[in-house]
Structure 1
Amino acid sequence: VEQGPTHVLNPAPVAIQQVIDVDGVPAWVNVAPFSTAATEDVLPEWFGEIVHVREDKNEWHINNGHLYVSISHDGTITSLSNGARNVLPEGQFPTFTLRNDRPAEYDAWDIDMADANAPATMTLHNGVAALVEHSPMRAIVECSYATEASQFTVRYTISAGSPRLDISLDANWQENEQRLQWCLPTDVHAREAVFGTQFGHVRRPRHANTSWDLAQFEVCGHRYAAVHEPRFGVALLADGPRGYDVRDNQIRLTVLRAPRFPDPFADRGRQKIEWSVLLTDGDPIVHGIELEASRIAHPLRIVDGVPQVTPFHVDVDIDGVMISALKPADNDNGDIIIRLWETTGGRANGALTVPGFAVVSDCDALEVPCGDAWHTTDGAIQLTLEAFQIRTLRLSK
């Protein structure tokens, strides 16, 4: 790293144009996939909506042209909309709740249905909320909650250009056999919820019509959980696998647990957990949820100076297809391994362009070629992927 302005490294397979935090100060970045870029102190001239905040006697009204959020002075989110439709049902608001968590077996692994269905205890507000930051780049509202044993500080962030409400929880977690959930009520009429998996997604019912449905009360979702109508939807996104309980009109995110076996002090102490709310124009699978989830799962790396790395130029012009891995071949002969996957559940055709590479072949996960090699056309590779197919390519110069 050479001396110079602050830069970021983008390990994500998608371009990132967003406000980031550099030592507590907001900065703007515009960085291509697998590349580096300098941060900027101000928004670019071509940028559209900035963050607007209006305060009345009871709440703050914050919007960035994509997302419109109202937060009361006690920290309650009272409205969450895309400007046309509020996702919250009338009179219902997001809450933090505590539930008993005493499974009959496998304390640190299982969640029993009786505990999941039992009444929950709402965490209590601890003081008033505060607008701790307001600039054209972002606005942050901070509030506190507490139980008899634990304390929580929650920050709601709305950034310029972002379709997400970003939420962070700093906790001093000292509970025993309790489970903390964040519950988001939704005014969305959907029979099913969709949950991300490692390479794809699954759908689960929101009702308990049969014993099979009843048993699916907690689902492990990689990256996201979402519900949607044909022209409107809402999703929770996180940087890894989380437990979600989606039933009736609520999406419940399991934030923290406090098991006593095999480790009687598991997860106790200081914890920081982050997640986001994303509103979509319909089915999130076809409206780019995987792109937004990738930005969260592969956060930018901030470098104090100019990193001496060569950006890797690759262009995926195939709808619904993303890169999951990009690496040098294990035998260190100059070849490159690219692993792609189809994200929507349908066949996809298009071109992958990697300048500087002339020969490509399919290979397995161990990088052993499986099939004949063929030549690219000026680095362009025509590909077809079946629904949810994972395809690994070996590229040579």
Structure 2
Amino acid sequence: MRCREAWLPDTFGYASQLPQILRLAGIEYFFTQKLSWNNISVFPYSTFNWIGLDGSQVLSHMTPVDSYNSQADVDELVKGTTKHKNLEVTDQALLLFGNGDGGGGSTSLMLEKIDRLQSAAALNSEIPPVTVAKASDFFDQVRETTEGGATLPSWRGELYFELHRGKGNRKMETTLRDAEYFATLASLHDSKFRYPWGELGDIWRDALLNQFHDVLPGTSIKMVVDDALEIYGQRLPQAEKLLESALSSLLPVSKAMNGFTPDSADTVILVDPLRLARQQVIEIGTHVADAVDALYQTLPGDRILALAQTNDAGIGSLVRPQAVSSPSATTSGDKHVLTNTHFQLTIEGGRLTSLIDLGLQRELILEGPRAKTGGLMLYEDLPLAYDAWDAEIYHLDCATTINFDSVEVTANGPLRASLTGRAQFGDSEVFVTQRSWLRVDVHADWHETHKFLKFALPVDIHAPNATFGTQYGLIERPTHRNTKPDQAKFEVCAHMITDLSEAGYGIALSSAHKYGYSVEGNTMQLSMLRSATAPDPEQDRGEHDFSFAVMPHMGRMLESGVYGDALRFTNDVYARMAPAEHLGNLGKTSISVTGPQAKGILVDNVKRGEDDQKLGTRSVILRMFEGQGGRATGTLRISGLRPVSLSWVNILEEDMTDEPEVLWELNEGVIEVDLKLRGFELKTLRIVVE
């Protein structure tokens, strides 16, 4: 059985890439009713074409009855016609009858009422005709009577829900992605290694269970929260074990660095599953520093920092550069200054008062809406109806500026300099550490009630729109609040990054584990912690550790390379100890995308084919996307594989009949694939190998 419609009546908004993802899964139709709950503006359509970021579209319907718990009463039927917003095109609507939310579904009384209403409608023109049918039949008829949807209005971009605005989940996703990648390489080059289809499938199913719309945003009762944490506690170590097994196969004489005492001939091998060239500071064990020649820095608690470097194949090592410009942290009375090669940050009076681009001698902090300086802001958080679900717009008018009670130098070169500020308020205590490349580490012992903690940064950047990361793409939002829809979107659910740029310069905020961003005027904010009391009276109470980064950059976002910097910040490398110059099977396969117009193409996932076991085949699945919103061309280069065939497939890994054949050749043992992607397009390539 194949489903042709996406049925999501109660999810808290719908991402702008969902139409493309649905079409790539063979789904033509989409249903919801959730936007009828909007509390500021009214969604204008009942039946419409929903067009995603890349131009894909699905025929969509939002029942004018505004419910998925209808009791099959006559007034609900009448509402389905009188509240229908597209009667000029179609007079059909869906009535979802039954007791939802686990209430048992339809009852015999409801079915009897529908039967009677059918009879009454034949005699009374004021009662709309009603029939029981499949949702797909409804959509088929709408498509037939609207010239395939051509006469319907269109809505472009996300379906933003204005009411329910919302580490384990992200950690689980990245660990599974990395385990799939390294296990794929291991299964191709080690005949003794078995790709763990079954184990990965079991873990993915539990990870997706925890992505249910009342679990992921924290809007469940405490019992559900406890269950979710138990699942993460069980499944994450299993995923990490699969990852370790794959890395041990690829580097058979290597060991994970934790607790392993290296030989004098050993070196550190770094592997990056996203294959990003990078140079960054990482933390290692003291036993490694005793054996490997590199540039180190010692921190309190026997922690050792080293400088790591990887190439665009995702392989690297610890390095000792020829020249190093050391960052520094100084304090003088109430003034605390953090300086590196590019920037100087000042904390004074418990607030971030200055951030200077040293190359341009440009001050980047400027008083803005709701924030005069940078730092923590604490808001009163008292929603009208749905406590854990909602953040109301009026909470923005109920802010308290939180100053650091104390600031101290906690690191001072040669690799890292840090200032740590301590803020105590109510029953909570927050430590915020600013590092020399503008990384911010937060440790919070949180015990507030009906409070909302955010980080604010007013910047000297002025633009009418800000850019936010989303699934497989970027969206823009106005920085003003001119209209009701603008006002309603005061909080943006974003992935990884938000950026505010003007011609020639910009600033980005990036975080792996926080998803609530906002930009009003020139003030950028990151939502950090809330403390509702229902349905879980202990929501978020306890200790939290998370990080984010402030990333000033030359040029606008797309031309600056800051998107790649955000990927590096939010995705770690893995470090192994192995004999020098020994890469085992790791270096046998490399994956890269080259070409002057290929900057926006990212190979996001590499895995084995889902049907390999059943069909007895060996296939590799590569999922890629264009992430900057423009046409992209380039060459996908893959070494170390002996291909039998290449084909474009959908996200279910089925051949796509409407896609042209893959243009590829084998050049000196390297597979070279011609790539052409439209803006924000998602494509999946299957390579069958010997």
Q: What TM-score do the two structures reach when normalised by structure 2?
A: 0.53
For 2:325 and 2:442, locate their aligned partners in 1 and report how far apart those are by CA, in whole Å.
27
Deviations 1:88-137 (A, max 9, x none): 01694202111111212332221111113x231122432x3111111121
Q: Could you tell me how far 1:8 is from its partner in structure 2?
A: 3.5
CA distance in 2, matches of 1:48, 1:230: 31
Alignment-derived partner of residue 567 in structure 2: 294
AA aligned to 1:11 is: P
1:214 Cα offset (Å) = 1.1
The structure-2 alpha-carbon separation of the partners of 1:241 and 1:181, relative to structure 1 and needing over 3 Å to count, comes to closer
Q: Secondary structure at the match of 2:567?
A: helix
Give the secondary-structure state (helix, strand or coil) at the position aligned to 1:286: helix
| 1:37 maps to which of 316, 321, 325 | 316
The AA in structure 2 aligned to 1:150 is: S
Per-residue CA deviations over 1:228-281 (Å, capped at 9, x if unaligned) read 101011111001451112112211111111111111111110001210000121
Aligned to 1:22: 284
* Other-structure match for 2:427: 149
For each residue in 1:52-80, what CA deviation from the matched residue of structure 2 results, as whole angstroms up to 9, or x when unmatched?
Answer: 456555534433323332334x5532321
2:467 to 180, 191, 194: 194
CA displacement, residues 145-187 of structure 1 (integer Å, 9 cap, x when unaligned): 01021001111111xxxxx410011010000111001110111
Verify: 1:89 aligned to 2:366, yes or no. yes
- CA deviation profile, 1:170-216 (whole Å, cap 9, x unmatched): 01000011100111011111111111101111111111111111111
CA contact (8 A) 2:494 2:515 kept: yes
Q: Return the offset for 1:361.
A: 1.6
Verify the 8 A CA contact 2:604 2:625 in the aligned structure 1. Answer: yes
Work out whether residues 274 and 314 of structure 2, in 8 Å CA contact, stay in contact via their aligned partners in 1.
no
The secondary structure found in structure 2 opposite 1:102 is coil
Tell me what 2:666 maps to.
377
Q: Which residue of the other structure, out of 358, 370, 391, is the alignment partner of 2:683?
A: 391
Deviations along 1:314-362, whole A, 9 cap, x unmatched? Answer: 1111121111111222316432211111111110111111013444221
Relative to structure 2, which stretch is displaced further, 264-273 or 358-367?
358-367
1:302, 1:146 → 2: CA distance?
37
Aligned to 2:648: 362
Q: Among residues 318, 342, 349, which one is paired with 1:66 in the alignment?
A: 342
Alignment of 1:298-313 (within 5 A): 298-303=571-576, 310-311=586-587, 312-313=589-590
TM-score with structure 1 length normalisation? 0.90
Q: Aligned partners of 1:198, 1:20: CA distance in 2, in Å?
A: 28
Corresponding residue for residue 244 of structure 2 = none
Q: 1:248: which partner in 2?
A: 521
Match of residue 161 from structure 1: none
Q: Distance in 1 between matches of 2:379 and 2:338?
A: 32
Q: Distance in 2 between matches of 1:97 and 1:241?
A: 16
Judged with a 3 Å threshold, the aligned counterparts in structure 2 of structure 1 residues 322 and 57 are, in CA distance, closer, same or farther, namely same
CA RMSD of aligned residues (A): 2.3
Whichever residue aligns with residue 112 of structure 1, its letter is E
- Aligned-residue offset at 1:396: 3.2
Q: What letter is aligned with 1:29?
A: A
- Of residues 419, 437, 449, the one that matches 1:176 is 449
Query: How far 1:21 sits from its partner (Å)?
Result: 2.0
| Letter aligned with residue 147 of structure 1 | F
CA–CA distance in 2 between the matches of 1:48 and 1:231? 28
| Counterparts in 2 of 1:75 and 1:156: CA distance versus 1, 3 Å | farther
Aligned positions, number: 386
Whole-Å separation in 2 of the counterparts to 1:392 and 1:321 = 12
Equivalent residue for 1:278?
A: 551
Contact 1:95 1:184 in 2 (8 A): yes
Confirm or deny: 8 A CA contact 1:11 1:34 kept in the other structure.
Answer: no
The equivalent position to 2:413 in structure 1, one of 132, 135, 155, is 135
3-state SS of paired residue (1:125): coil
- 1: CA distance, partners of 2:403 / 2:663: 64
Q: Secondary structure at the match of 2:485?
A: helix
Gap change, CA 1:365 and 1:13, over 3 Å in 2: farther
Paired AA for residue 65 in structure 1: T
Work out which of the residue numbers 436, 440, 444 in structure 2 matches 1:167. 440
Indicate how the Cα distance of structure 1 residues 302 and 108 shifts in structure 2: closer, same or farther if over 3 A, else same.
Answer: farther
Greater mean deviation of Cα atoms: 288-297 or 183-192 = 288-297
Q: SS at the partner of 2:461?
A: coil
Matched, 1:320 2:600: yes
Change (3 A) 1:177 1:190: same
Tell me which of the two structures has the higher relative contact order, counting C-alpha pairs closer than 8 angstroms and 6 or more residues apart: 1
Structure 2 contact 366–458 (Cα < 8 Å) conserved? yes
Larger of the two Rg values belongs to structure? 2
**2:276·2:310 contact (CA, 8 Å) conserved in 1?**
no
Q: Residue 485 of structure 2 corresponds to which residue in structure 1?
A: 212
Q: Which consecutive unaligned segments of at least 5 residues does structure 1 have?
A: 159-163
SS at match of 2:395: helix
Structure-2 separation of matches of 1:285 and 1:175: 39
Structure 2: how far apart are the matches of 1:95 and 1:62?
A: 15
Equivalent residue, structure 2, for 1:100: 380
Query: Counterpart of 1:363 in structure 2: which amino acid?
Result: V
Structure 2 CA distance for partners of 1:316 and 1:395, relative to 1, 3 Å: same
Structure 2: runs of 5+ lacking an equivalent: 1-253, 256-261, 286-302
Q: Measured at CA, do residues 173 and 7 of structure 1 come closer, stay the same or move farther in structure 2, by a change above 3 Å?
A: farther
Kept in 2: contact 1:75–1:142 (CA 8 A): no
The answer on whether the counterparts of 1:13 and 1:323 sit within 8 Å (CA) in structure 2 is: no
Greater helix fraction, Structure 1 or Structure 2: 2
Distance 1:373 1:231 in 2: 39
More strand per residue: 1
- Amino acid paired to 1:346: G
